[in-house]
A and B are shown apart, each in its own frame.
Chain A
Amino acid sequence: MKRIIILFLIISIALLSGCWDMEEINNRSYVSVIGMDLNNKGDNGEKFKVTYSYPNINALGKNPSSEQNRFIETTSASTAYEATRKLSTSTDKPLFFKNLKTLVIGEELFKEKELVKEILDGLGREQRINRKINILLAEGKAEDILKITPEKETASAVGTYLSDILRNDKITGRFTARTLSQVLADTDISDAALVPKIKIEKKDLEISGGGIIKDYKLIGKIGEMENICIAMMNGDFNSDVIEATYNDTHISYAVTIFSSSKRVYVEGGKIIADIDLNIEGYLQQYKLDKELQAFDEKFLQGAEKSLEDRIKRETLNTIELLQKKYNADVIGIGEWISKFKPSLWKEIKDNYDEVFPNIEIRVNPTVEIRRTGLSR
């Protein structure tokens, strides 16, 4: 008996050990960006055109054995997951999605409500895809965006170029990076979300502004200034330079500390939203002159006032745009009401689309110039 067991154990070594099921790291294709477009030809019900971009691992490292630093594959399919399977017939290495960083969705596709819903549901269900992937709106076709090779892209960061730019939203308010889980959460509450917009600018990529998603489809695009305003009202704003004119001269003002707070209340049957923006920062540029300028109470107060006016004007313009043109609450007023005024929310939530354009939104920016740089 003992011998049989020993024999069995010895045989099992041959079966169990070894790397017969191994997958070497350079035999996998780590997809870093997916682009999705509407398939215009639409044959066989293949509604999507899916583009995958993944780094060529052989081109990385100290002694690259290959020149081309990434591969791009495009296929049409009826779902994104079918595309993966379809591609496995034409790529030598299995596609691997754990390191996926960015999903770029083409403008035309984003206008199709049902298809966007399908994509979002698919992403939420898929366990191999991280929920922290960034969602980007492509101006034009996502495929073209992926095919651009940015000059600044170094070999070490192939494919993460887009997500690296998106990380810059810590130092600028011109776009606001949005991950899958944030987009899902935004659409759940107020049915509206904002995703950053990417476009090709002189053979290079540029992320700026954003697209407004309402009811799971793209209804409009906004520019950089509007995005700064929306980010400020949402409290997503971190830092940027704001400019204003004081005494016919440009003032450049860098924001270092920012906070915002909302308050919504009913007064005389009208819903009023107060948004306070508290901005602190330093003076970056004014105008060289022999007399002292910046160390002057009148100047500081005046400059603060003109900056406040500028911010107020721009935010009110943005609010006007959101309320009257797009009717999309991307500034979180509905969310605030549902959280802190639940009884009011019960009354208005069913016809919030009619309520939102008529909410009176007041913006009160407070700008403080804390420092004036190195010169007085």
Chain B
Amino acid sequence: MEKRVSNTQFKALIITGVVGVGVLSLPSSIARIANNDGWISIVMGGAISALLMYLMVSLAQMHPGKVVFEYARELLGNFGFYIFAVIYIIYFMMVLAVEVRVFAEVIKVFLLENTPIEVIIISMLVTSMWIGRYKIEVVARIALLMYTVLFIIIIFGVIAVFPQLDFTNIFPLFQTNLKTIIGGVRETFFSYLGIDFVLVSLAYLEEPKEAMHYSMRAILSVTILYVFAFVLTISTFGVSELKRQVWPTIALVREVDFPGFFLENIDGIIMAAWVLIIYGNIGPTAYNSTLVLSNIFKTKEHGLYVLPLVPIVYFISLFPQNLYEVYKNMLIPNILGFIITIIFPILLFILSKIKGRRTK
């Protein structure tokens, strides 16, 4: 297998794969559980993700040049592999559906009020899932591009909101007990989903030995981004108003108002850039899901599965009747994500250790 992904692209792939629509609602959903100490939950969630990442990278390094679905079949046998592959595919469908639905809801509220949500969803799905047709290097290049966009938005956003921050709103610190904070960690889980992509992308890495270093840096960046989002929103709104918000991160941008009519109502610009970030988030997930399918059916080409997936994701995404149900139904991808990102890698890791010892 060719080595086609550079380390920087690898890092960008992880970041864009993890940062999706979760960051929009994360600060308020955490504040609802852990109040002012939500950032501790975010940091703990990041630490757990780093541990999982360590496990996954070591697992992938044990099987150089192989994608997870290939060695999973060897380790688990055909039957076991099919069970996991089915869970995988359902999980990807659910994640894609949630992503695109929340994305469409946000776009409908802020940008395209009169456009039917179906149109927003289908046009986003068709354009972004198209990335899934291409090879990994294309996905990686797009990831790097979107990563740059994300970076620019963050810097621009932080500068724009800075004058109005009241950092005393972060206080009081350490008032929540450990149990609640751990409850908050569970809430951050959806926002950290997507790290499992290393199991695929690492196989194509130019220098797989460096992978650990870059993946840790990626997780660190994501954690810092989330902590930033939390601190900035809580400093702007205060904890009670933060809890009331559906999408505090966008509400934050709507607070921007520089004197003299110079800069206000910039939510449109940020929303437009936001489209690109979600684009970069859906792309790798779509690539992943087609890869699973091509491994199930043992086809060489994976691109042909994209088109059939679009209507399926479309229907799943339209299943919730309202925004409340969208967020309520997030439990399903969360449970599946738990299996995919925690149970599955641990199982594979143990099996490959046993197998490795046997072959010695």
How far apart are the CA atoms of A184 and B244 in the complex, in Å? 11
**A132 and B257 within 8 A (CB):** yes
19 contacts across the A-B interface (CB closer than 8 A) = A98-B265, A99-B265, A127-B109, A130-B257, A130-B264, A130-B265, A131-B255, A132-B264, A167-B259, A184-B241, A185-B237, A185-B240, A185-B241, A188-B240, A188-B241, A189-B240, A339-B171, A340-B171, A345-B172
How far apart are the CA atoms of A340 and B254 in the complex, in Å? 29
**A131 and B175 within 8 A (CB):** no
**B264 and A124 within 8 A (CB):** no
Contact of A181 among B237, B259, B265 (CB under 8 A): B237
Residues from chain A with a CB closer than 8 A to the CB of B265 are: 98-99, 130
The 8 A CB mask of B238-250 against A (1 = contact, 0 = none) is 1011001000000
Contact of B168 among A127, A167, A181, A339 (CB under 8 A): A339
A278 at the interface (CB under 8 A from B): no
Contact of B244 among A124, A127, A339, A345 (CB under 8 A): A124
Interface centre among B110, B169, B171, B259 (most CB of A within 10 A): B171
How far apart are the CA atoms of A342 and B251 in the complex, in Å? 28
How far apart are the CA atoms of A44 and B93 in the complex, in Å? 50
Overall SS of chain A's interface: helix
How far apart are the CA atoms of A177 and B237 in the complex, in Å? 17
Interface centre among A184, A185, A338, A345 (most CB of B within 10 A): A185
**B241 and A181 within 8 A (CB):** yes
Residues from chain A with a CB closer than 8 A to the CB of B254 are: 130-131
A residues in contact (CB < 8 Å) with B: 98-99, 124, 127, 130-132, 167, 181, 184-185, 188-189, 338-340, 342, 345
What residue in chain B is nearest A179 (Cβ atoms)? Answer: B257
Residues from chain B with a CB closer than 8 A to the CB of A131 are: 251, 254-255
Residues from chain B with a CB closer than 8 A to the CB of A98 are: 265
What residue in chain B is nearest A339 (Cβ atoms)? Answer: B171
**A132 and B255 within 8 A (CB):** yes
Least CB distance from B5 to A in Å reads: 36
Residues from chain A with a CB closer than 8 A to the CB of B171 are: 339-340, 342
Q: Which 9 A-B pairs have the closest CB atoms?
A: A342-B172, A188-B240, A339-B171, A132-B257, A185-B238, A342-B175, A127-B109, A184-B241, A98-B265
B residues in contact (CB < 8 Å) with A: 109-110, 168-169, 171-172, 175, 236-238, 240-241, 244, 251, 254-255, 257, 259, 264-265
Residues from chain A with a CB closer than 8 A to the CB of B175 are: 342
Least CB distance from B269 to A in Å reads: 13
Least CB distance from A155 to B in Å reads: 16
Residues from chain A with a CB closer than 8 A to the CB of B255 are: 131-132, 181
Residues from chain B with a CB closer than 8 A to the CB of A124 are: 244
How far apart are the CA atoms of A181 and B169 in the complex, in Å? 14
Least CB distance from A351 to B in Å reads: 19
Residues from chain A with a CB closer than 8 A to the CB of B264 are: 130, 132
Residues from chain A with a CB closer than 8 A to the CB of B237 are: 181, 185
Residues from chain B with a CB closer than 8 A to the CB of A132 are: 255, 257, 264
Least CB distance from A159 to B in Å reads: 12
Least CB distance from B185 to A in Å reads: 22
Least CB distance from B105 to A in Å reads: 11
Least CB distance from A147 to B in Å reads: 25
How far apart are the CA atoms of A131 and B109 in the complex, in Å? 15
Least CB distance from A337 to B in Å reads: 10
What residue in chain A is nearest B244 (Cβ atoms)? Answer: A124
Residues from chain A with a CB closer than 8 A to the CB of B172 are: 338-340, 342, 345
How far apart are the CA atoms of A68 and B355 in the complex, in Å? 87
What residue in chain B is nearest A99 (Cβ atoms)? Answer: B265
How far apart are the CA atoms of A98 and B261 in the complex, in Å? 12
Least CB distance from A259 to B in Å reads: 14
How far apart are the CA atoms of A338 and B175 in the complex, in Å? 11
Least CB distance from B180 to A in Å reads: 15
How far apart are the CA atoms of A185 and B171 in the complex, in Å? 15
Residues from chain A with a CB closer than 8 A to the CB of B241 are: 181, 184-185, 188
Contact of B238 among A99, A130, A188, A345 (CB under 8 A): A188
Inter-chain pairs besides A99-B265, A181-B237, A189-B238, 18 sampled, C-beta below 8 Å: A124-B244, A127-B109, A130-B265, A131-B251, A131-B254, A131-B255, A132-B257, A181-B241, A181-B255, A184-B241, A185-B238, A185-B240, A185-B241, A188-B240, A188-B241, A338-B172, A340-B171, A340-B172
Least CB distance from A348 to B in Å reads: 14
How far apart are the CA atoms of A98 and B265 in the complex, in Å? 7
Least CB distance from A350 to B in Å reads: 16
What residue in chain A is nearest B245 (Cβ atoms)? Answer: A124
Least CB distance from B225 to A in Å reads: 23
How far apart are the CA atoms of A288 and B171 in the complex, in Å? 52
What residue in chain A is nearest B243 (Cβ atoms)? Answer: A188
Least CB distance from A181 to B in Å reads: 6
What residue in chain B is nearest A187 (Cβ atoms)? Answer: B240
What residue in chain B is nearest A129 (Cβ atoms)? Answer: B254
Residues from chain A with a CB closer than 8 A to the CB of B110 are: 127
What residue in chain B is nearest A124 (Cβ atoms)? Answer: B244
What residue in chain A is nearest B254 (Cβ atoms)? Answer: A131
How far apart are the CA atoms of A255 and B244 in the complex, in Å? 39
Least CB distance from A265 to B in Å reads: 16
What residue in chain A is nearest B175 (Cβ atoms)? Answer: A342
Least CB distance from A196 to B in Å reads: 17
What residue in chain A is nearest B238 (Cβ atoms)? Answer: A185
How far apart are the CA atoms of A189 and B244 in the complex, in Å? 14
Residues from chain B with a CB closer than 8 A to the CB of A342 are: 171-172, 175
Residues from chain B with a CB closer than 8 A to the CB of A340 are: 171-172
Least CB distance from A345 to B in Å reads: 8
Residues from chain B with a CB closer than 8 A to the CB of A188 are: 238, 240-241
How far apart are the CA atoms of A124 and B251 in the complex, in Å? 10
Residues from chain B with a CB closer than 8 A to the CB of A189 are: 238, 240
How far apart are the CA atoms of A124 and B241 in the complex, in Å? 10
Residues from chain B with a CB closer than 8 A to the CB of A167 are: 259
Residues from chain B with a CB closer than 8 A to the CB of A338 are: 172
What residue in chain A is nearest B109 (Cβ atoms)? Answer: A127
What residue in chain A is nearest B251 (Cβ atoms)? Answer: A131
Least CB distance from A96 to B in Å reads: 11
How far apart are the CA atoms of A340 and B174 in the complex, in Å? 11
Least CB distance from B324 to A in Å reads: 14
